[in-house]
């Protein structure tokens, strides 16, 4: 089986108020040593290499800040190190960082998919969220990407940004449909202590406009409305947060939801070989220092035990609209978890009778009209 490769680039120009990722604003002088460290980590990983790599995803952070030559060097290192038959090579990009020169260089080095962090087409929402771009930048970025040849563009929106209203949300979705990207991701705003906005929302205050976050019900309504409009426009809803035109589902991200192997390189990158999971150190300066002196950047290595693997089959697999093959899972885990499987069968029956889950052929899935409460369904299912 071919594996996916994820490259983490943890640099941003500024910190968005809602962001809870391990990313930072650092001097541009750090970019080159970081890219060199990623190349070295790839080269030295070959002893644990899977036979071939078919998808690459360069995410962040804002990888489009790197010099295109550094990104090309990373891809070349992967080609030299692994048996690479790349079918999908994605670069995450922020709209304001895109220039014709960069886009042309990305395309010629092999990137064939761009994931554009649009988030909203309303300038007031973008500004309050601390984003650097405005709606004109999104249109300009898409025009540039199309002009140099990109035919697979993904656009993200966030439901629940401060100041978002029903009207402004519908306007953003309309603008997105006007752009008509091949792929769309819609995320619900996450409220937790990992972001300035999340903390303010939990503790009170208005500096980051936490007092202007739409209610949970409004967010769910935004999601449902966008889902219906995307379906009408010809997009297939294939994962809770993701829609694609025919054949445009993200091949790389499908590997995560299907528990297929992937290798991660860079600070904080995670890997899974089918049995073990591991993660690199988060702090980028420490990551570079470790790699430069020939040490491993890995930490948190763990063997995935049957109970955890069983839970992952549901937590990850049920994110897909096509669901999971429950009988296959029951067979695979029967030797270790026979009692738990019996319990889960009973819970599935109950969740089906109350309309939260469905079985179609061999596939068990969360009912499409209950996706906004998928976390609650999973808690009821797995306890």
Residue 31 engages ligand SF4 in binding (rule: CB under 6 A): no
Identity of the residue, 132 or 348, whose beta carbon is nearer to ligand SF4 in the bound complex = 132
Give whole-number Cα distances, 129 to 18, 21, 119, 236, 314, in Å. Answer: 7, 15, 9, 29, 33
Site for ligand SF4 in 105-144 (CB under 6 A): 117
Residue 148 token pair:
């140099």
Closest CA to 209 of 94, 120, 130: 130
Residue 61 engages ligand SF4 in binding (rule: CB under 6 A): yes
User: Which of 2, 3, 7, 23 is the binder for ligand SF4 (CB under 6 A)?
Assistant: 23
Residue 252 backbone dihedrals phi, psi, to 5 degrees = -70, -50
CA 240 – CA 185 distance, rounded (Å): 9
Is the Cβ–Cβ distance between 193 and 245 less than 8 Å?
no
CA 272 – CA 267 distance, rounded (Å): 16
Residue 74 backbone dihedrals phi, psi, to 5 degrees = -65, -45
| 358 sits in which H/E element | strand 357-360
Among 9-17, 71-79, 134-142, 298-306, the segment contacting ligand SF4 (CB under 6 A): 9-17
Identity of the residue, 24 or 261, whose beta carbon is nearer to ligand SF4 in the bound complex = 24
Residue 63 engages ligand SF4 in binding (rule: CB under 6 A): no
* Nearest distance from C-beta of residue 19 to ligand SF4, angstroms: 3
Residue 344 token pair:
């889960």
* Nearest distance from C-beta of residue 161 to ligand SF4, angstroms: 11
Question: Residue 89: which region, alpha, beta or left (left: phi > 0; alpha: psi -120 to 50)?
Answer: beta
Residue 187 engages ligand SF4 in binding (rule: CB under 6 A): no
Among 45-53, 58-66, 151-159, 347-355, the segment contacting ligand SF4 (CB under 6 A): 58-66
* Nearest distance from C-beta of residue 16 to ligand SF4, angstroms: 3
Residue 93 engages ligand SF4 in binding (rule: CB under 6 A): no
User: Which of 7, 19, 157, 371 is the binder for ligand SF4 (CB under 6 A)?
Assistant: 19
For 109, other C-beta atoms within 10 Å of its C-beta total 17
Identity of the residue, 138 or 344, whose beta carbon is nearer to ligand SF4 in the bound complex = 138
Identity of the residue, 25 or 359, whose beta carbon is nearer to ligand SF4 in the bound complex = 25
Residue 93 token pair:
């990009």
Closest CA to 79 of 5, 187, 134: 5
Residue 280 engages ligand SF4 in binding (rule: CB under 6 A): no
CA 176 – CA 120 distance, rounded (Å): 9
Binding map of ligand SF4 across residues 217-256, x = CB under 6 A, - = no contact: ----------------------------------------
> CA torsion, points 367, 369, 371, 372, in degrees to nearest 10?
-150
Q: Who contacts 59 (Cβ-Cβ below 8 Å, separation ≥6)?
A: 6, 7, 8, 9, 90, 92, 115
Identity of the residue, 123 or 369, whose beta carbon is nearer to ligand SF4 in the bound complex = 123
Residue 21 engages ligand SF4 in binding (rule: CB under 6 A): yes
* Nearest distance from C-beta of residue 11 to ligand SF4, angstroms: 8
| β partners of residue 365 | 358
* Nearest distance from C-beta of residue 221 to ligand SF4, angstroms: 24
* Nearest distance from C-beta of residue 223 to ligand SF4, angstroms: 19
Quote the distance between the C-alpha of residue 71 and its chain's center: 19
Residue 2 engages ligand SF4 in binding (rule: CB under 6 A): no
* Nearest distance from C-beta of residue 211 to ligand SF4, angstroms: 21
Among 14-22, 333-341, 346-354, 368-376, the segment contacting ligand SF4 (CB under 6 A): 14-22
Task: Enumerate binding residues for ligand SF4 (CB under 6 A).
Answer: 12, 15-16, 19, 21, 23, 60-62, 94, 117
């Amino acid at each position: 089986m071919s594996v996916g490769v994820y490259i983490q680039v943890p640099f941003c120009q500024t910190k968005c108020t809602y962001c809870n990722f391990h990313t930072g604003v650092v001097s541009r002088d750090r970019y080159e040593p970081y890219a060199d460290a990623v190349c070295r980590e790839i080269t030295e990983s070959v002893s644990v290499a899977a036979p071939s790599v078919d998808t690459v995803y360069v995410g962040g952070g804002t990888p489009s800040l790197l010099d295109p030559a550094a990104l090309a060097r990373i891809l070349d290192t992967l080609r030299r190190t692994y048996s690479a038959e790349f079918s999908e090579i994605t670069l995450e990009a922020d709209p304001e960082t895109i220039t014709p020169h960069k886009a042309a260089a990305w395309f010629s080095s092999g990137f064939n998919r761009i994931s554009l962090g649009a988030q909203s087409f309303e300038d007031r929402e973008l500004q309050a969220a601390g984003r650097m771009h405005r709606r004109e930048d999104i249109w300009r970025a898409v025009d540039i990407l199309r002009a140099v040849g990109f035919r697979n563009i993904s656009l993200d929106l966030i439901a629940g940004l401060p100041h978002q209203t029903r009207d402004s949300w519908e306007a953003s979705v309309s603008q997105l449909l006007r752009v008509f990207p091949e792929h769309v991701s819609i995320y619900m705003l996450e409220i937790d202590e990992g972001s300035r906005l999340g903390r303010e929302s939990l503790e009170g205050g208005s500096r980051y406009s936490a007092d202007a976050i739409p209610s949970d019900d409004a967010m769910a309504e935004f999601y449902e409305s966008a889902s219906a409009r995307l379906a009408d426009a010809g997009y297939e809803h294939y994962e809770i947060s993701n829609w694609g035109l025919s054949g445009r589902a993200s091949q790389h991200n499908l590997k995560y939801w299907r528990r297929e192997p992937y290798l991660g390189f860079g600070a904080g990158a995670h890997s899974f070989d089918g049995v073990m999971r591991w993660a690199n150190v988060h702090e980028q300066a420490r990551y570079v220092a470790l790699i430069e002196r020939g040490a491993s950047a890995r930490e948190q290595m763990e063997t995935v035990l049957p109970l955890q693997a069983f839970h992952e089959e549901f937590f990850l697999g049920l994110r897909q609209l096509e669901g999971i093959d429950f009988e296959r899972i029951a067979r695979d885990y029967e030797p270790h978890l026979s009692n738990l499987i019996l319990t889960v069968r009973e819970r599935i029956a109950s969740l089906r009778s109350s309309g939260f889950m469905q079985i179609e052929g061999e596939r068990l899935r969360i009912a499409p009209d209950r996706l906004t409460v998928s976390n609650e369904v999973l808690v009821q299912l797995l306890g």
